Amino acid sequence: MKYSRQRELIYKTVMENPIHPSADTVYALVRKEQPTISLGTVYRNLNLLVREGMLQKISFPNVSDHFDGRLEEHCHILCQQCGRVYDMDSPRLDIAALQKRPGHFRITGCHIYFTGICEACLKHFNQFESEDEFL
């Protein structure tokens, strides 16, 4: 892959962002340093970095894709209130045992995700619940 200053900036932005940004978030952050960059350039470079194995794309139903630089096996949890995506240690799966099951599959990957409400959103909602204003 040929070097690109824009691609390096996009990659660095994802790697430094613990909430796994969407392409729109990456675009907003990168524009602070590179105001002339286009949203299309951000999308193309994110997809190239995914194809090259440098980032992973996290897909949830009905939500924009998010991007993660942590490549080792782990799960993700999506806050249903604020939309942030967090890492979760993954449960250990016995891939070797799964490979031996009937069905003639060669397992090449597994994606497990969870949904819930993050601590910050829970604290915010609990503040309103105590005042009987929530709901």
The CATH number that applies at residue 106 is 1.10.10.10
Given a cut of 70, whether residue 95 has pLDDT beyond it is: no
Predicted confidence at residue 88, as pLDDT, reads: 86
28: in domain: yes
Q: What is the pTM of this model?
A: 0.78
Predicted confidence at residue 134, as pLDDT, reads: 39
State which H helix or E strand residue 116 sits in: strand 113-116
Predicted confidence at residue 132, as pLDDT, reads: 46
Rg (CA), the chain: 18
Written as one letter, the residue type at 131 is: E
Q: In the predicted model, what is the mean pLDDT of the chain?
A: 86
75: in domain: yes
The whole domain housing 91 covers 5-127
pLDDT in tens, 33-89: 999 999 999 999 999 999 999 999 999 988 899 999 998 888 899 999 998 999 888
110: in domain: yes
When pLDDT is cut at 50, 70 and 90, the band that residue 12 belongs to is very high
CA distances from 130 to 82, 127, 133 (A): 21, 6, 8
| Nearest 10 degrees: Cα torsion 22, 112, 55, 107 | -150
